[in-house]
């Protein structure tokens, strides 16, 4: 007799197959497959529950319980019901319900009286079940998967199935009533449309953090596939479940909490932001280990963590937004060195905390001291512009992917013939600067509902993806 259930392995939930057989010997359970102490103790709870419910125990036979995979230590809250059900079906004291498949999923706890309890971590089963039914205890809660619920072991023959609609709940968009000047509004539009990694620098109190916080209200909802991944990790790590995670850690957060670690390795804040937004307020105050560790996930969408010979790869596909001052007092801006009260040496050492390779991975750099104080554009207007741009991209190019993720060759194919034939302005800097210009230009074109990337879109993109980076490099020249 075989059934399927779940065990906890590190931070992950793993499916396990339970096979039950009988051999001559003392009437007790023998667990194979690295059971932990709690699982070994559960044999007395299972045996007591079966007897209390009036079921017979085999005479002169021991029950062999084999759990696969055999190389993982088994720890679980819900294997008790799985083992008890396998025993009752194998001994034919209870006939398996036709509502269940040949090898059913079973997960639940037992009381000494034989009552069946749905474990608190049962929600994690959603990641593995898909359209299958899970046999568990009775609960008043609505599970996001189909269940067959029983009150006690006696009621195994009279199952009823609660079917799940399988629909994901979407968070209703609530746009705050916030207003921005035209230049800040344009920045918000282009970042949200293409989901471009962006660095905002400038004096304290100029609105950098507010812009980053408002970005989360402008992003489109995650796809069903992405939301399942978000939910899977949130359930495993007890993180809040959000359509698009918004993570804004303090710069004093320890390296291991940001990146991940431990033995076995567990994910950190970088993985919590997967499929969402990671905001690093005061970027230069973060440790160099954290800053440089961002280089891998920005490119690959994954982060590798190694501890004590164990290497784990965690998802880390996020929109990175960062803010920073350029000097300790916060007043230094390009072209206005006299506004800073610190020495040239101290200011230079502060800006050197931002390495060239990390800075090059930002597609947009914006100076907040250029934003005017007059508030003319509402966040609702910005949101509508972003939605229209993304709907235009889908309608004309069939593109669901944001521009920051689109291969550069596909974007180049949408250029105006004039640009392809030699009208393209020269773009200084690395290959990444060229790619950033093209992707940002594509976002500007979408905002104007233009099928082609035209010269004006390239010029706008250069103003975000090239010129500010050059000004930052020449700030002490």
What lies within 8 Å, CB to CB, of 230 at 6+ separation is 222, 241, 242, 243, 244, 245, 274, 275, 276
Tell whether 148 and 79 lie within a shared domain. Answer: yes
Q: Is residue 307 part of a domain?
A: yes
* Whether 356 and 456 share a structural domain: no
187 and 304 belong to one structural domain: yes
Residue 171 domain-assigned (yes or no): no
Asked if residue 192 and residue 60 are part of one domain, the reply reads no
Query: CA-CA distance, 258 to 251, in Å (whole number)?
Result: 10
Q: Are residues 328 and 388 in the same domain?
A: no
Edge to edge, the sheet with strand 29-32 lists 29-32, 61-68, 12-24, 2-9, 105-106, 134-137, 147-150, 161-162
Q: Which residues, 6 or more positions from 409, have their beta carbon under 8 angstroms from its beta carbon? A: none
Same domain, yes or no: 192 and 327: yes
Shared domain for 14 and 128, answered yes or no, is: yes
Q: Single out the residue of 114, 177, 119 nearest to residue 151, CA to CA.
A: 114
- Which contacts qualify for 449-454: CB closer than 8 Å, 24 or more apart? 449/388, 449/389, 449/392, 451/396, 451/397, 451/414, 452/414, 452/415, 452/416, 453/411, 453/414, 453/415, 453/416, 453/419, 454/416, 454/418, 454/419
Q: Both tokens of residue 387? A: 């939605």
Contact of 313 with 268, CB cutoff 8 Å: no
Residue 312: φ, ψ to 5° = -125, 145
Interior angle at CA 370, CA 368 and CA 371, nearest 5:
70
| Residue 264 is assigned to a structural domain of this protein | yes
pLDDT at 296: 92
Q: Which of 335, 359, 379 is the last residue of a domain?
A: 379
Q: Are residues 6 and 129 in the same domain?
A: yes
Taking only the tens of pLDDT, the chain with its 477 residues reads 899 999 887 777 789 999 999 999 888 889 998 888 888 888 899 999 999 999 998 888 999 999 998 888 888 888 999 999 999 999 999 888 888 888 999 999 999 999 999 888 787 777 677 678 889 988 877 777 888 888 888 888 776 666 654 444 455 678 999 999 999 999 999 999 999 999 999 888 889 999 999 999 999 999 888 988 888 888 778 898 898 999 999 999 999 999 998 877 889 999 999 999 999 999 999 999 999 999 999 999 999 988 777 788 999 999 999 999 888 877 777 776 566 677 778 888 888 899 999 999 999 999 998 888 777 899 999 999 999 999 999 999 999 999 999 999 999 999 999 888 888 888 888 899 999 999 999 999 999 999 999 999 999 999 999 999 998 888 765
**237 within domain boundaries:** yes
How many domains does one find in the chain? 3
341 and 396 assigned to the same domain = no
Q: Is residue 476 part of a domain?
A: no
State whether 388 and 403 are in the same domain.
yes
Residue 369 domain-assigned (yes or no): yes
Are 248 and 143 part of one and the same domain?
no
**Residue 169 maps to a domain:** no
Select from 162, 187, 222 the last residue of a domain.
162
Query: Does 248 share its domain with 282?
Result: yes
Within-domain flag for 373: yes
Name the residue range of residue 49's domain: 2-162
Q: Tell me what pLDDT residue 164 has.
A: 57
DSSP-assigned letters across all residues of 198-215: EEEE-STTSSHHHHHHHH
């Amino acid at each position: 007799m075989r059934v399927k259930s779940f065990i906890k392995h590190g931070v992950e939930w793993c499916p396990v197959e339970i096979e039950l057989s009988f051999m001559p010997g003392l009437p007790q359970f023998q667990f194979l497959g690295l059971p932990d102490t709690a699982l070994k103790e559960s044999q007395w709870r299972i045996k007591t529950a079966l007897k209390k419910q009036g079921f017979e125990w085999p005479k002169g036979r021991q029950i062999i319980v084999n759990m696969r995979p055999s190389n993982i230590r088994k720890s679980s809250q819900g294997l008790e019901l799985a083992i008890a059900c396998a025993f009752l079906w194998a001994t034919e004291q209870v006939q398996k319900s036709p509502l269940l498949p040949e090898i059913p999923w079973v997960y639940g706890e037992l009381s000494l009286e034989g009552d069946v309890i749905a474990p608190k971590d049962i929600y994690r089963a959603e990641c593995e079940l898909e359209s299958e039914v899970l046999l568990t205890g009775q609960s008043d809660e609505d599970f996001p998967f189909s269940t067959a619920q029983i009150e006690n072991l006696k009621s195994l023959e009279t199952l009823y199935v609660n079917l799940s609609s399988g629909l994901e709940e979407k968070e209703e968009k609530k746009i705050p009533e916030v207003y921005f000047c035209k230049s800040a509004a344009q920045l918000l539009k282009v970042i949200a449309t293409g989901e471009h990694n962006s660095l905002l620098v400038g004096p304290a109190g100029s609105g950098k953090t507010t812009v980053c916080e408002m970005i989360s209200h402008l992003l489109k909802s995650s796809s069903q596939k992405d939301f399942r991944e978000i939910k899977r990790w949130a359930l495993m790590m007890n993180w809040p479940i959000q359509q698009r995670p918004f993570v804004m850690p303090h710069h004093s957060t320890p390296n291991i909490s940001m990146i991940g670690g431990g033995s076995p390795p567990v994910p950190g804040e970088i993985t919590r932001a997967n499929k969402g937004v990671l905001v690093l307020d005061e970027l230069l105050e973060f440790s160099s280990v954290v800053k440089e560790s961002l280089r891998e996930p920005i490119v690959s969408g994954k982060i590798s963590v190694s501890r004590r010979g164990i290497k784990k790869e965690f998802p880390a596909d996020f929109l990175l937004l960062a803010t920073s001052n350029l000097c300790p007092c916060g007043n230094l801006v390009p072209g206005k060195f006299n506004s800073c009260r610190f020495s040239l040496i101290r200011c230079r050492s502060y800006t050197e905390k931002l390495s060239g390779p990390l800075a090059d991975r930002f597609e947009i750099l914006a100076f907040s001291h250029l934003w005017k104080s007059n508030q003319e554009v509402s966040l609702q207007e910005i949101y509508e512009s972003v939605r229209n741009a993304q709907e235009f991209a889908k309608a004309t190019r069939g593109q669901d992917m944001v521009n920051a993720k689109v291969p550069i060759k596909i974007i180049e194919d949408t250029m105006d013939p004039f640009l392809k034939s030699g009208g393209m302005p020269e773009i200084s800097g690395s290959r990444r600067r060229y790619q950033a210009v093209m992707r940002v230009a594509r976002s500007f074109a979408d905002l104007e509902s233009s099928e082609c990337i035209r010269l004006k879109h390239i010029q706008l993109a250069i103003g975000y993806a090239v010129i500010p980076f050059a000004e930052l490099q020449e700030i002490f020249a």
